[in-house]
Amino acid sequence: MTRPRTLVALVAGAVLGFGGALTGGVLADRPGEASLPAHPARPVGGTALPWQEASLFAEVYERIKRDYVDDVDDHALMEKALRGMVAALDPHSAYLDSEEFEEIRLSTMGSYPGVGIEVGAEDGVVKVLRPIEGSPAQQAGLEPGDELVRIDGNDIGADLAGAIARMRGASGSLVKLTVRRDDTPGLIEYALRRAQVEVHSVVQQSLEPGYGYLRITSFSETTPGDVGRAVARIKRDNPSGIKGLVLDLRNNPGGVLESGVAVADDFLERGVIVTADGRTPEARFRMDASAGDLIDGAPLVVLVNGGSASASEIVAGALKDHGRALLIGRRTYGKGSVQTVMPLARGGAVKLTTSRYFTPSGTSIHGKGIVPDIVQEGPGAPPAELLAGRGSAPLADRDTDVRVALDTLKIRAAVARRAALPVAMRALVP
């Protein structure tokens, strides 16, 4: 089976991805000036290109314009030169044109125009991972696992980026989706009117009485608030208290750095969460936890896999290093750098790696990832199952990782209850 490729595309084409594997990626992103797009950046002073290099660039440009076999568009040539220059630095730095810059800006805000579905490439086709609650896609009846066959009559195949591009559009405009559903003969057509979609990156449910499940699909500016509300709902559904929580970060490619730090802080009482080192003062920082634990110290298990990257690894690394959580699953992606998105004076932006970060133990996970405490074999559940799945079977019965996590929580909860008893009574408790 081909390895699933998840792209959170909630679909105005807002893209979160890692490395060069996914289109338009940004992880552990520090928005920087990107959060203030109304104020264009000024050219950086004191860093002019040395005249020898400038002369060489001009000479190559002149040769291309004069001698290349075909006419060359100046703008296209310059854009490719800029992309090549920045891409040569590392896999996570990139030049962004105005449209790509807007996509990244929207992806961190939690609200934008679209049809409201998360899609991913799986087994050579594009599938719906989850329709967003209250979105045009959910209201129309699209379901997790639906295969996108055509958009506005155009075949999709395995073209994930193309599917995203075709689903973009202004609020109020129409788009036609044709899907294939496993339990339905033939194809199903939907006519959707794009709208402003409020994206919530957190899914929660109760696994068994006292045991909750929290899945974070990405880290946007709204994620910390979504986590707080989700935990409150789990507490409401379990009035006797939370005995344990599964925090699912599988296939979460990351997102806004500060949001990842805030989520780690939700489960830590004290101590460093992450430190970073870079060339500028702004790139060197340390972020610490504040008092307060959303689940009051109840046992915590974090699920991870090779799709858990960047901000997800900051959360997992902090909780693991402090002994607050057990990690279960597969080695994480291994992205230990921070990118800052910087607007450019003439439009667009440059996304540059500005820091390298370290877990509380001082470890860099870059290129190595984090090895879970309990390593699971096999590829794990596909994305469509992770993001709600289909059918009536409980999640722990459909997903082996969740089952192992739940069983682990029960053991840890039992050990904690026994440890809380007076010494004379512990022998009476199994």
Check: pTM over 0.85? Answer yes or no: no
Tell whether 126 and 99 lie within a shared domain. no
Q: What does 214-265 look like in DSSP terms, one character per residue?
A: EEE--B-TTHHHHHHHHHHHHHHH-TT---EEEEE-TT---BBHHHHHHHHH
Long-range pairs of 229-234 with CB within 8 A, sequence gap ≥ 24: 229/202, 230/202, 230/203, 230/204, 231/204, 231/266, 231/294, 231/295, 233/204, 234/204, 234/206
| The 3-state secondary structure of 318-355, one letter per residue | HHHHCCCCEEEECCCCCCCEEEEEEECCCCCEEEEEEE
Give the CATH number, domain containing residue 294: 3.90.226.10
Residue 10 confidence (pLDDT)? 31
- Rounded Cα distance between 121 and 6, Å, is 6
Position 424 in a domain:
no
Tell me the pairing of strands 211-216 and 244-248.
Answer: parallel
- Rounded Cα distance between 118 and 128, Å, is 6
Q: Which two tokens stand for residue 36?
A: 């203030």
Tell whether 289 and 387 lie within a shared domain. yes
Tell whether 72 and 214 lie within a shared domain. no
Contact 396, 365 (CB under 8 A): no
- Rounded Cα distance between 91 and 3, Å, is 20
Tell whether 293 and 400 lie within a shared domain. yes
Position 141 in a domain:
yes
Domain of residue 362, residue span: 202-343+354-419
Tell whether 92 and 119 lie within a shared domain. no
- Rounded Cα distance between 182 and 163, Å, is 20
Tell whether 27 and 142 lie within a shared domain. no
In the three-class reduction of DSSP (H, G, I as helix; E, B as strand; rest coil), residue 293 is classed as coil
In the three-class reduction of DSSP (H, G, I as helix; E, B as strand; rest coil), residue 13 is classed as coil
Report helix, strand and coil shares of the chain as percent, to nearest 5. 30, 25, 45
Position 315 in a domain:
yes
pLDDT in tens, the chain (430 residues): 333 333 333 332 222 233 322 222 233 565 554 443 333 444 455 566 787 888 999 999 999 999 999 999 999 999 999 999 999 999 999 999 988 888 778 777 777 788 988 887 777 889 887 788 789 999 999 998 899 999 999 998 888 878 887 887 889 999 999 999 988 999 999 999 999 888 778 989 999 999 999 999 889 999 999 999 999 999 999 999 999 999 999 988 898 999 999 999 999 999 999 999 999 999 999 999 999 999 999 999 999 999 899 999 999 999 999 999 999 999 999 999 999 999 999 899 999 999 999 999 999 999 999 999 999 987 676 555 555 444 557 888 889 999 999 999 999 888 876 666 665 555 555 5
Residue 62 confidence (pLDDT)? 94
**DSSP letter, residue 16:** B
- Rounded Cα distance between 108 and 87, Å, is 22
Alpha helices in 16-109 (DSSP H): 51-67, 74-87, 98-107
Tell whether 177 and 34 lie within a shared domain. no
Among 201, 164, 137, 121, CA closest to 383:
121
Tell whether 160 and 271 lie within a shared domain. no
Residue 2 confidence (pLDDT)? 32
Residue 6 confidence (pLDDT)? 33
Tell whether 68 and 135 lie within a shared domain. no
In the three-class reduction of DSSP (H, G, I as helix; E, B as strand; rest coil), residue 50 is classed as coil
Residue 303 confidence (pLDDT)? 98
Tell whether 243 and 298 lie within a shared domain. yes
Catalytic positions, please?
Answer: 310, 321, 335
Residue 26 confidence (pLDDT)? 32
Which residue, 198, 232, 260, sits at the end of a domain?
198
User: Which residue type does 190 have?
Assistant: Y
- Rounded Cα distance between 355 and 275, Å, is 10
